[in-house]
Amino acid sequence: SGMSVLENLIVAQHNKLMRASGFAIAGLLGLPGFRKAEHEAVELAKYWLDRVRLTEFADWEAGNLPYGAQRRLEIARAMCTEPVLLCLDEPAAGLNPRESGELAEILTFIRDVRTPQGHQTGVLLIEHDMSVVMRISDHVVVLDYGRKISDGDPEHVKNDPAVIRAYLGEDEDEALPPEIAADLNLAQKGA
C-alpha cells in the first residue's frame, strides 16, 4: 500500500527530522527533541494541506487522488522543504481551467505570504498557460525556440508585438488558435 497524503508531506521533511534526531538515534530512543521535531513536521504538513485544499484527503493514499489534486500535493510536498525559491516546470499541464485557476491562487499565496517559518518564497515558473503566467507573475520572460523575445512586467509582455507574432505567426492575417485566444483573453481580464 502507498503512503497517505499526510505521510507524503512528512517524508518531504526527512532531512529536518534526521538532523533533529541525531540521524535516527533520538528517534529510536524517543527523545524529546525528536518528538518536538516530529510534531512540528506534522503541523507544517497540515498547514500546507490546508493551503492547497487537501485537508479532507489527508488519509487518502496519494496515488488515488485525482490528477489536479496530485499536482497540488506535489507543490505542498515541495513547500514542506521550506524552499527559498520554488521552481516549477509546467505545473498547469493537463489541468482543466478550474484547476488552473486554483493553481494560480495557490502560487499567488506562496509568492505573497510569509511561511510559518517567517520567510517568503519566490516562484520561478516555466509555463505555457498564459492565464496562469499573467495572473501570478511580477516579471515575465518569453522565449521563442530558446531565444528571448520579451522581458518585462505582464502588461508589457502581453502587448509586445514580438510575443503576439510568436502566438500568431508571421502572417498577421492568420487567426489565433481558440485555446490561445482564450488564454490571452483570460490573462487580460485577470491583469
Give the per-residue SS3 of 42-80: HHHHHHHHHHCCCHHHCCCEHHHCCHHHHHHHHHHHHHC
Tell me what pLDDT residue 3 has.
92
Strand partners, 126: 89
Task: Tell me the whole-structure pTM to 2 decimals.
Answer: 0.76
HSE-CB for 166 with a 13 A CA cutoff = 18
Grid coordinates representing 144? 521563442
Q: How far is the CA of 177 from the CAs of 2, 167, 182, 185, 189, in angstroms?
A: 41, 9, 9, 12, 18
Backbone φ, ψ for residue 33 (5° rounding): -60, -40
- CA-nearest of 153, 172, 149 to 162 is 149
d(CA 89, CA 136): 15
Task: Please list the rounded mean pLDDT of every run of 10 residues in the chain (191 residues).
Answer: 89 76 58 74 94 96 95 96 94 94 96 85 93 93 93 93 84 57 61 48
Crossing angle of helices 97-112 and 67-79, in 10° steps, is 10
Tell me what pLDDT residue 173 has.
47
Q: What one-letter code names the amino acid at 45?
A: A
DSSP 84: S
